[in-house]
Structure 1
Amino acid sequence: MTKPTPVAPGNRHALYEAHGYSAAIRSGDLLFVSGQVGSREDGSPEPDYSTQVRTAFANLEAVLSAGGCTFQDIVDVTSFHTDPERQFEAFMKVKNEVFPEAPYPNWTGIGVNWLSGFDFEIKVIARIPATPTA
């Protein structure tokens, strides 16, 4: 049985340590990425909603990269929204830039009433691509 291995981008490792969780866990050929938010380098929320969503996707991209993946390797997404009806248009604009064409990953959007000062969070499962052998 494969032992799960923690994965973290180098520039944000201290934030994950401070809060006691891994940015992602690699298990076999899957990467389970913890919820990513639109936080600045110091961990504080980005105040503008669209910028917060873009920053969350940038943070997600950094974790995926640290695990050997890209957005194209994502198979399942769960996103959390504090005011989905009001935020939908701005969210979809960013989402469509990140995933401009099919095939799209599975996606579940959930409305929540609290995200520790954030308005958007995204967690994913990605399949780690096989590396070609020499």
Structure 2
Amino acid sequence: MTERKAIIPAGMEAVYEKIRYAPAIKAGNTIYVSGQIGRDASMQLVEGREAQMVQAFENLKLVLDAAGASLSDVVDLTTFHTDMRDLPLFMQVRDRYLATHPRPAWTAVGAHMLGGTAGYIVEIKAVAILPG
């Protein structure tokens, strides 16, 4: 069986301790990142649509970095949106973060509510493969 390790970046300990899930699991050379939402290090909702999208990507980047990976290692992206009309803006933000080729596979899903609290508009889940 492949060894599994919880990835908990500094500042996300409350996620693991209070909400009881790992921000990511590293299994072999694969990193499975839990859905990242637009909340800051104090677990507060970031205001503004683009700002939330940016914060979700910054959180994704933080988790990947803690696992020894980067955004260029992402092979699969799943995003959840409370308003699919946000996709053009989301794609602009996404392309600032994921500019490598080939681009990862991507699935966008409409969702009624995210993060268990009203106000969150996007959640980003990813799979990354470490080189070697």
With the shorter chain as reference, the TM-score category is: over 0.9
CA distance in structure 2 between the partners assigned to 1:124 and 1:3 by the alignment: 19
CA distance in structure 2 between the partners assigned to 1:39 and 1:123 by the alignment: 15
Residues 52-91 of structure 1, C-alpha deviations (whole Å, 9 max, x = no match): 0000000000000000100110011100000012x12221
Do the aligned partners of residues 19 and 98 (structure 1) sit closer, same or farther apart at CA in structure 2, a change above 3 Å counting?
same
Partner of 1:129: 131
Structure 1 runs of 4+ off > 6 angstroms? none
CA distance in structure 2 between the partners assigned to 1:7 and 1:127 by the alignment: 14
Secondary structure of the structure 2 residue equivalent to 1:2: coil
Secondary structure of the structure 1 residue equivalent to 2:93: helix
Question: What TM-score, normalized to structure 1?
Answer: 0.91
Out of 8-17 and 58-67, give the one that drifted further. Answer: 8-17
CA distance in structure 2 between the partners assigned to 1:59 and 1:127 by the alignment: 18
In structure 1, what residue type is equivalent to 2:55? T
In structure 2, what residue type is equivalent to 1:95? R
Q: Could you tell me whether the CA contact under 8 Å between 2:54 and 2:93 is conserved in 1? A: yes
Structure 1 residue 11, shift from structure 2 partner: 1.7
CA distance in structure 2 between the partners assigned to 1:111 and 1:59 by the alignment: 21
Partner of 2:89: 90
Matched, 1:119 2:118: no
Structure 1 residue 16, shift from structure 2 partner: 2.5
In structure 1, what residue type is equivalent to 2:88? E
In structure 1, what residue type is equivalent to 2:89? A
CA distance in structure 2 between the partners assigned to 1:128 and 1:108 by the alignment: 21
Out of 110-119 and 55-64, give the one that drifted further. Answer: 110-119
Out of 95-104 and 55-64, give the one that drifted further. Answer: 95-104
Structure 1 residue 101, shift from structure 2 partner: 4.2
Query: In the comparison of the two structures, how many residue pairs are matched?
Result: 129
